[in-house]
Amino acid sequence: MTRDMTSPLVLATRNAHKVAELQRILSSAGLDVELVGLDAFPDVPEVAETESTFAGNALLKARAVSQASGLPAVADDSGLCVDALNGMPGVLSARWSGRHGDDSANLELVLGQVRDVPPLRRGAQFVCAAAYAEPDGSEFVVEGVLEGSLAEAPRGEHGFGYDPIFIPDGYALTTAELRPHEKDAISHRGQAFRSLTQVLQGRS
């Protein structure tokens, strides 16, 4: 696979926050490429996340979007894995409360489920799998993990999803209290997409 660096990359999401965040991460990692979200391709259908792993879902989405758009595509599947909940919500993170993408409800449900869990047992991880696929069937997937713990209440105005309740190891702030570049430097998504960038640069 030889990556054509002049072609745009399609990001398999209609989440504008993700598009902006991943464009920032890819650019800071030295990958000079235009990243476009699915809003630019209204005819491409939503891809159901039916796999049981982050890597499986990321590949499923990247593969489907690449085939539908005729362009190279990247996709990520990420989520929160809570030790006290046996690794859940995991791949169900975006729809943990029953409705996909309801960040506030998802966050409040997780906090309610660990309300009586003592601080030393509130360990958690943010996990991200980032996948790349081309129309010819070439593909690969990489992963990133950020270790941390859960706050007792939401804090911070930055980020999205579970960021307001996740405190990375070695920090006193939640990922929603970190500045964007600070979060990018340590985040699970930043790790995964920097690894993806390295692979793409090696194949360009």
pLDDT (0 to 100) of residue 16 = 83
Decide if pLDDT at 24 tops 80: yes
CA distance 88 to 152: 18
Q: Is 62 helix (H, G, I), strand (E, B) or coil?
A: helix
CA distance 190 to 159: 13
Q: Which domains does the chain have, with CATH numbers?
A: 9-203 (3.90.950.10)
| Whether 110 contacts 89, CB under 8 Å | yes
Least confident stretch, 16-30, 45-59, 100-114: 16-30
* The token pair that represents 130 in the structure block: 């980032």
Decide if pLDDT at 2 tops 50: no
Decide if pLDDT at 135 tops 90: yes
pLDDT (0 to 100) of residue 6 = 59
| Mean local confidence (pLDDT), 87-104 | 91
Nearest to 193 by CA among 138, 144, 147, 150: 144
Alpha helices in 115-187 (DSSP H): 180-186
pLDDT (0 to 100) of residue 5 = 53
CA distance 195 to 55: 14
List pLDDT tens digits, range 144-178.
999 999 999 999 998 889 999 999 999 999 999 99
Least confident stretch, 74-78, 96-100, 108-112: 96-100
What is this structure's pTM?
Answer: 0.87
Decide if pLDDT at 115 tops 90: yes
CA distance 165 to 175: 8
Residue 81 banded pLDDT, cuts 50, 70, 90 = very high
Alpha helices in the chain (DSSP H): 16-28, 54-69, 103-113, 180-186, 188-203
pLDDT (0 to 100) of residue 14 = 86
Average pLDDT value for the chain: 90
pLDDT (0 to 100) of residue 204 = 53
Which residues form the catalytic set? Answer: 77
CA distance 21 to 25: 6
Residue 1 banded pLDDT, cuts 50, 70, 90 = very low
